[in-house]
Amino acid sequence: MQGNRAIIKKILHYLRPYTFFMACSVLAAAVSALLALYLPVLTGDAVDLLLGKEKVDFSAIAAILFKMLVIILVSAAAQWIMNSCNNHVAYCTVRDIRKSAFSRLQHLPLSYLDSHPAGDSLSRIISDVDTFADGLLMGFSQFFTGLLTILGTVVLMLSIHRLVALAVIALTPLSLFVAAFIAKNTAALFRQQSSTRAVQTGIIDEMIGNEKLLQAFSYEKEAEEHFGKNNEELRGISLKAIFFSSLTNPSTRFVNNLIYALVALCGGFAVINGHMSVGQLTAFLSYANQYTKPFNEISGVVTELQNAITCAGRVFELIEEEAEPAEEEEAALPAEVKGEVEISSVAFSYRKDQKLLSGLNLHIEPGKRIAIVGPTGCGKTTLINLLMRFYDVDEGSISVDGCDIRKIRRKSLRSRYGMVLQETWLKPGTIRENICLGKPDATEEEMITAAKYSHAHSFIRQLPKGYDSVIGEDGGMLSQGQKQLICISRIMLSLPPMLILDEATSSIDTRTEMKIQDAFARMMQGRTSFIVAHRLSTIREADTILVMKDGNIIEQGTHGTLLEQNGFYAQLVRSSGAEL
């Protein structure tokens, strides 16, 4: 965790564009505080005019009351301006921080997203930023006004009675010491609270996203116990943090009440001895109360700011995560890509202490269909990740049309691939928007033709609004097979020069799959295609089948030649019958 000073410096960087509104807020706070300080003077004058039987000056009191009314109205207007400026600064700053965090999330390497729970990132961008906003708003609303009130009351108390005022000021550090001591000891608890809340967000996100799986395996009770354990831990930490932070206000209030009692006692003797009037004592007591009140507020603000700074630190950690390496502007693939792929001595591992791929060599001619088979964990999906530059190789190189892909912009490289994965991805919106994701300028006729090729048109037509039907997150009520058909339609519409099909028909019934295979065959004609599949029907017609095991290609050839070799591939075929 970063130090508080470093975090505050970063917060100030985000506040800098709103200097004008901060200045307006400080000015309005000054006007409000000064007018509030002038009210006790008028109150004291009015009290002095009430002393003595039949000596009340009603006309003078009426004038004072009118002044007080004007001051209250102007002070209220100043407070409204101050609060409006504070809200603008706080929420604009929070907007900018959230925007920076989400923008950084789009540029983080896949390795970060794979190694960090989604719930932790969600908690940082949503919960932590909200907590930071609350603390920032409280700081703006109460800190400046409180500070100005303290300075103003000190000056006015010294002008009324210097000795009593010095006694009040001398006891002030005791209140500050109590607040600082408690705030320092609650900082660690707030950090722990934020971390535990992030874990809880991750659990909730995971359980909601996999609710069907939980119910299928009757895991509800275990999920409740897992959540309950974390929730209980969060409750305990939160109670401790809130308990210790809540000690600040009553502790400082106790000290301040002692100060107020001292002022009343000393002021009473001063009135008896003729050093001040009753009206001045009334004003002095009001100032003493105004002087100590901001300390109570500021002590509460310090606690909230401590929590806010802790949460801001977690957000800044995300914002400052190392992004994917910068790319050369001129490095881009030509518009016409032949699809020749060369893999030379490639070595890669997700963890440095655990080798996965090593010494991988492969030459793929343009327009060839390459099937990749092998047991789970052999490196099939890893090879796809490397081809798409989701990860960069540790050793060796991968080139497309003779150009090392590390010298090609990721956007340029990925736009030349069309991917259909086993796990579908659909965004909230219409089916039309989801199909046209890779080609937003597609015509209606092109979109419908692509949907017909993928055999999605028939079920889309039966929906209430057809292609304009709105689906929720991850496809809403569509079946897994229907979602996969939409993803296949998306690729058939954009038709990139190279294809990656990773279990592309895993959720589709056999009859529909047979129809789609014909469409795939037309689509793959003249395009370099990588097919990861377990179904024999999907890869039987591939030009080359790569058989992977333990991160290495141990066999390669056509379906017929590999069966004749009677090696590992033949064992896979025999052990699975009609399936690979």
Q: Which amino acid is at 413?
A: L
CA dist 51 and 304 (Å) reads 46
State whether 74 and 120 are in the same domain.
yes
Q: Are strands 403-404 and 357-364 parallel, antiparallel or unpaired?
A: unpaired
The residues that bridge with 544 in the sheet, in sequence order, are: 370
Structure tokens at 90: 């706080």
State whether 349 and 314 are in the same domain.
no
Question: Taking Cα atoms as reference points, which of 148, 237, 155, 159 lies closest to residue 200?
Answer: 237
State whether 307 and 347 are in the same domain.
no
Contact 431, 395 (CB under 8 A): no
The domain tally of the chain equals 2
- pLDDT (tens place) for every residue of the chain, 580 residues total: 456 788 888 888 888 898 899 889 888 888 888 888 788 777 777 777 776 566 677 778 888 888 889 988 998 999 899 889 888 988 888 899 989 888 888 888 877 877 777 777 888 888 888 888 888 877 777 777 777 777 887 887 777 777 777 777 777 667 667 766 766 667 677 778 877 887 888 788 778 777 777 877 788 888 888 888 888 888 888 888 878 777 776 777 777 777 777 777 777 777 777 777 777 777 777 777 777 677 666 666 776 777 788 888 888 888 888 877 766 665 666 667 788 888 888 888 887 777 778 888 888 888 888 888 888 777 788 888 888 888 888 888 998 888 888 888 888 888 888 887 777 788 888 889 988 988 888 889 999 998 888 888 888 888 888 889 888 777 777 887 788 888 888 888 888 888 888 876 666 677 777 767 777 777 788 888 888 876 666 677 788 888 888 778 888 888 888 888 888 888 888 776 544 4
pLDDT tens for residues 395-442?
Answer: 889 988 888 888 888 888 888 888 877 777 888 888 899 889 888 888
Is 325 part of any domain?
Answer: no
User: pTM score, two decimals?
Assistant: 0.66
State whether 528 and 381 are in the same domain.
yes
The phi, psi pair for 179, rounded to 5°, reads: -65, -45
Question: Taking Cα atoms as reference points, which of 110, 137, 104, 88 lies closest to residue 315?
Answer: 104
Is 334 part of any domain?
Answer: no
State whether 275 and 411 are in the same domain.
no
Is 522 part of any domain?
Answer: yes
pLDDT tens for residues 277-287?
Answer: 777 777 777 77
Contact 501, 530 (CB under 8 A): yes
Q: Which amino acid is at 180?
A: A
Question: Taking Cα atoms as reference points, which of 407, 413, 416 lies closest to residue 327?
Answer: 407
List, as own/partner pairs, every contact residues 113-117 make where C-beta atoms lie below 8 angstroms and the sequence separation is at least 24, other chains included. 114/350, 117/198, 117/199, 117/202, 117/205, 117/206
State whether 299 and 359 are in the same domain.
no
CA-to-CA separations, 303 to 195, 265, 465, 550, in angstroms, rounded: 18, 32, 54, 55
State which residues form the domain around 199. 4-319
Half-sphere exposure of 207 (CA within 13 A, CB side): 17
Question: Taking Cα atoms as reference points, which of 13, 145, 18, 11 lies closest to residue 88?
Answer: 18
State whether 72 and 105 are in the same domain.
yes
CA dihedral of 13, 104, 116, 92, whole degrees rounded to 10: 50
State whether 346 and 304 are in the same domain.
no
370 C-beta neighbours (distance < 10 Å), count: 22
CATH code of residue 473: 3.40.50.300
Cα 481–486–491 angle (5° rounding)?
Answer: 125
